[in-house]
Amino acid sequence: MKIVHTLSELIAARAELQGSVGLVPTMGALHNGHLSLLQQSTAQNDHTIVSIFVNPTQFLPGEDLDKYPRKPEADIKICELAGVDVLFMPRPEEMYATIEPTIHAPSSKAYILEGLARPGHFDGVLRVVLKLFNLTKPTRAYFGKKDAQQLYLIQNMITCLFLDITIVPCEIIREDDGLALSSRNAYLNPEERREALKLCESLKCATYLVMKGERDISVIQAAMLQALKPLHVEYAVILNRDFDTIPSLHVGHSIILVCAKVGTTRLIDNLWI
Ligand code: AMP
């Protein structure tokens, strides 16, 4: 595995790769969720490029940019074992110029839910992802359904900017007890870790109601809010898969999204139903 830090090293390493290339963009502190993306990429492509970059433009002032978990040595081992060909670990100065065009993610879809609490977050995400696409020219790029809104916005960018890249959505990987894996779970103390289960429990509770035939969104939402008590809930919503509001849940076309704060840690989870 080649580990590269500069743009010129990355471009040179990419030029040597023949055949299909899978790209897995990450912020590091890799866990089994990331690993499942790496495994899908290595299985489906001749070569895999992984980026590890805690992207400053997607963090708002006061967010956890400085304390975001960083585990470069462990990440390198995981990538090596997974059969990654090129690991790109740039410094921020490498990725951004002082003057450059920016991207404004579509407001109606990028300034709701995650984007309401984190205005401009998705502008930063699309900006860095487009740079990574241009640098690595992947055949396929792998994104987790865990970040469902991000996945939607990236697919939208691919379509609208006519990029010739296939986006592969990857299933959410969970702990045995149901908690969705996230680098930010490292912030939770043991009691918060238990409380955090309420997010996936609220999704299970919604699924149970849907299986019993319930389609009324306000009924399902009320049950979810009950299951999430006493967490500070930012949203518990049911939308269609284009992130539009819908009059009632339509099985096979809906997504249930939840965001709650456990202590000071904001956690998200979702279920495609
Ligand atoms: P991050 O390092 O948090 O930016 O995540 C990098 C990629 O891994 C994103 O596409 C995430 O959606 C994906 N990812 C993070 N957690 C999980 C998970 N538990 N299951 C599947 N994919 C995940």
Active site residue 250: no
CA dist 218 and 117 (Å) reads 22
**Other C-beta atoms lying within 10 Å of the C-beta of residue 147:** 17
Residue 222, pLDDT score: 98
Q: Considering only CA atoms, which residue is closest to atom 22 of ligand 1?
A: 144
Q: Please state the pTM of the whole predicted model.
A: 0.98
Q: Domain boundaries in the chain?
A: 2-170, 183-267
CATH of 2-170, one of 1.20.140.10, 3.40.50.620, 1.10.1050.10, 3.30.200.20: 3.40.50.620
CA dist 193 and 150 (Å) reads 25
CA dist 114 and 150 (Å) reads 9
Give the mutation target among 23, 26, 31, 34 for probing the ligand 1 site: most ligand atoms within 8 A of CB: 34
CA dist 52 and 128 (Å) reads 12
Q: Considering only CA atoms, which residue is closest to atom 6 of ligand 1?
A: 26
pLDDT in tens, 113-135: 999 999 999 999 999 999 999 99
Classify each residue of 182-211 as buried b or exposed e, where b means 16 or more C-beta atoms within 10 Å of its C-beta.
bbbbebbeeebeebbebbbbbbebbeebbe
Query: What's at 20, amino acid-wise?
Result: S
Contact 245, 168 (CB under 8 A): no
| CATH superfamily of the 183-267 domain | Pantoate-beta-alanine ligase, C-terminal domain (3.30.1300.10)
Residue 239, pLDDT score: 98
Residue 39, pLDDT score: 98
The burial of 153, by beta-carbon neighbours within 10 Å (0-12 exposed, 13-18 middle, 19 or more buried), is given as buried
Pocket of ligand 1 (CB under 6 A): 26-27, 33-34, 36-37, 143-144, 146-147, 170, 172-173, 180-183
pLDDT in tens, 169-218: 999 999 999 999 999 999 999 999 999 999 999 999 999 999 999 999 99
Region 159-178: what's the mean pLDDT?
Answer: 98
Q: Considering only CA atoms, which residue is closest to atom 5 of ligand 1?
A: 26
